[in-house]
Structure 1
Amino acid sequence: MRLFMFAIVITFGMTLVACQGDEMGINPENGTDDYQQTRYGDQNMGDQNMGDPRDDGGRLGINRMQNDENNNDLGGNNNGRYEMADRVADRINNDVEEVDNSYVMTGENNAYVAVNLRDNDSDEVNDQIKDKISNIVKRTDSDIENVYVSANPDFLGMVDDYAGRVQNGDPVEGFFDEFNDMFDRIFPDRDGTE
C-alpha cells in the first residue's frame, strides 16, 4: 500500500510539473519567444552605474546619457557620450555679461557651448567672449581640453530640445547622429578651442 501511495504522489507531482508553463507563460511554438522578463525596481539607474561615480562636473546625475554602444566619434576624439553640464552653463550665464543663456554639452574631453547673446542680432561669437567661456568651462571641468562655442540658432535650438528631453527622461538616442552632423557643419575644424 505504501508503494502504491508513493507511486500516486510521484505521478501527481510529475503531472503538476509537466503542466507548469514555460517562463512568462510564453510558448516558443507560438512564435512568441522574443519577449523579455521585465524587472521592476532594479537598481541600474543609480548614479553609481552611469559612468564614473566621481564625475560631478555639473551634469544631470541619473539623467546623464551614455551612448557607448554607438561609438559615436565627436571630433575625432572617440567620445562615446554627451552630457549636459548645467553647472558650467549656469556659471557662463552668471559670469559672462554678453551671454543671455547658454547650454553646455560635454563629450569626453570636448565641450560644445550653445549661447544666446544679449543685444546681438548676429550668430557670430567674438574671440573675447569665446575665451571667457572657454576659461570658465575648463576651470569648472578639468577633463575638458577643447571648447567649441557657437550662437548658431539651429545649434541652440537643437541643444535646447535635447536638454529638455534629457530633463524629462524622454528617449534621446536619435539625437546623436544629428549632433555629429551639426558639429561637423558648425565646427569643421574641431582640433582646438574655437
Structure 2
Amino acid sequence: MTMAKKRNIKRIAVWLVVVSMMSTGCASKTENQSRQQGVQMQQILTPPQTHIDNRIQIADAAAEKIVRINRVKQANVLVTGRNAYVAVIVDTPQNQLSRDLEAQIAQQVRSTDPNIQNVYISANPEFVDRITSYVTDVRQGRPVSGFYEQFTEIVQRLFPKAR
C-alpha cells in the first residue's frame, strides 16, 4: 500500500472524528427544534445509509507504525466503528500501492486495534489532502464543519464496495 493511501486513510479518520463531533452538536440542536416542528425534524435527522460510523477517531498509534514501513513517507488513519481509513504518501513509482505494501499497512493498523475488521487504504492525492487537512484542523482546534459529508462522499467514491 502506498504512503499516499496511508495518508488518505489517516486523513479520513481525522475528518470522521471532526464530523462526529460536529454532528453531535447539530443533533442536540436538531433535537430542540424537533420539539417545535415534530415530524419534519425526523426527516432531517435520518442520515443516509453508509458503512461509515458517524464517530471518527484519529488513530495516531496506527499512523506511527505505518510510517515505519519501508517506502511509506506519511500516513494518517481515521477509524469509524470497525473500519479504518488510511491516507498514505509512498515512495513508489507513480505512488502506487502494491498488495504487499497494503497488507503490511493493514497489519500495522490491526495491531493497534484488534476490533478493526476492514482497512481501506488510499494514496489518492485528494483523499490524502482532505484527511491531512482534517487532522491538522482538529489538532489546532479549528472548526471542521461539513467534514463528515465530504468524508462520506470521498469514501464512497474511492471504496465503492466497502460495507
Normalising by structure 2, report the TM-score: 0.70
1:98 aligns with 2:71: yes
Q: 1:83 maps to what in 2?
A: 57
C-alpha separation in 2, matches of 1:109 and 1:188: 17
Name the CA shift for 1:131/1:71 in 2 (closer, same or farther; >3 Å): farther
Which range is displaced more, 133-142 or 146-155?
A: 133-142
Higher relative contact order (CA 8 A, sep 6+): 2
Q: CA contact under 8 A between 1:84 and 1:105: conserved in structure 2?
A: yes
Query: What 5-or-longer segments of structure 1 have no aligned partner?
Result: 1-58
Query: What 5-or-longer segments of structure 2 have no aligned partner?
Result: 1-12, 28-44
Q: 1:53 maps to what in 2?
A: none
1:117 aligns with 2:117: no
Residue type of the alignment partner of 2:51: G
Using the TM superposition, give the Cα deviation of residue 167 of structure 1 relative to its aligned residue in structure 2, in angstroms.
0.4
C-alpha separation in 1, matches of 2:129 and 2:49: 19
Q: 1:174 maps to what in 2?
A: 146
User: For this pair of structures, how many residues does the alignment match?
Assistant: 127
Using the TM superposition, give the Cα deviation of residue 71 of structure 1 relative to its aligned residue in structure 2, in angstroms.
7.2
Q: CA contact under 8 A between 1:103 and 1:159: conserved in structure 2?
A: yes
Q: CA contact under 8 A between 1:72 and 1:80: conserved in structure 2?
A: no
Using the TM superposition, give the Cα deviation of residue 131 of structure 1 relative to its aligned residue in structure 2, in angstroms.
0.7
Name the CA shift for 1:174/1:135 in 2 (closer, same or farther; >3 Å): same
Normalising by structure 1, report the TM-score: 0.59
